[in-house]
Chains A and B, each alone.
Chain A
């Protein structure tokens, strides 16, 4: 089974621009979560989509948005980029109700590394 794929893998943008990142989950996985990873800050949860609906949302400004399509593929968009948005953006997919102890084991993609200049 193919793993979670994210495109692009690397991206360089300038302040004020916007960016769209894409995530294709493992086949059959209907839940997709997005995280921002920066050195020393761990993984900060952005949002989670399940069956095209946002199920959970982290504490990020409205510049960060996402959506999920009927085939479970997901995109996240960041508008008006700031220098502090430079990070590794990770996508994870899961099957609700399955995995360790019926909690959702999350399967991560390799991430998109975004650099904002």
Chain B
């Protein structure tokens, strides 16, 4: 059974950093496209960052480029998101999402999310 478990969220001051992690089980992470998607309170979905299939190239939304870094730990089967220079507008529930097939960027498995709050 596929499971995605996010962790690492919390309260952080503007300008601070957090590292999110998504522990994957039931599949090999590098065999699928994986992304982080966020949802600000009461708002819609926003794609943040991801890898396409087994590719090494990370992709980012313009809103986080230069501040966030996505990475995969193949030995632990985890997907991480290092978030630096955090802003109030980064406050959101962050989901880890897995594609349903290879490099297809359609997401059929999602975690429960981890909440990031950026506030002083």
Q: Do the two chains bind?
A: no
Q: List chain B positions with a Cβ less than 8 A from chain A.
A: none
Q: List chain A positions with a Cβ less than 8 A from chain B.
A: none
